[in-house]
Amino acid sequence: MKFKAGLLALIGTLVISGVVLAVPPGRVLEFNDSPLGKVVFDGKVHQEAGAKCKECHNDEMFPKMKQGTVKVTMAEIYAGRLCGVCHNGKRAFGTEGNCARCHIKP
């Protein structure tokens, strides 16, 4: 019985630490599918700007915390959805006319 409890505690610790280690501080994601150039998302930059993870990772914007599960298009962003919720020229820089702020040409 003690062995089972210890084993369950160990497994629980590994699962929790695996989740924590899956998104380390300063995580950078690269999106390479845009013809305008890759987009680099730096979590640290957003954190330093005062953004909280749950502001975007919620049921409406980015419900799944896995890259590639939400189709991000400029039409969606320009319509004030996804990144456009904040990048509207009020809370954060607006996206229209600022392509090079996100898109990096090779």
Q: Give 93-97 contacts, CB < 8 A, sequence gap 24+.
A: none
pLDDT of residue 2: 56
Instruction: Tell me the mean pLDDT in the region 86-100.
Output: 93
**25-104 CATH choice from 3.90.950.20, 3.40.50.300, 1.20.1740.10, 3.90.10.10:** 3.90.10.10
Question: What mean pLDDT is reported for the chain?
Answer: 76
pLDDT of residue 1: 58
Instruction: Tell me the mean pLDDT in the region 62-71.
Output: 76
Q: SS3 letters for the chain?
A: CHHHHHHHHHHHHHHHHHHHHHCCCCCEEEECCCCCCEEEEEHHHHHHCCCCHHHHCCCCCCCCCCCCCCCCCHHHHHCCCHHHHCCCCCCCCCCCCCHHHHEECC
pLDDT above 60: residue 73: yes
Domain ranges of the chain: 25-104
pLDDT of residue 23: 38
Tell me the per-residue pLDDT of 5-51, one tens digit each, with 9 for 90 and over.
Answer: 444 444 444 333 333 333 345 678 888 888 889 998 888 888 888 88
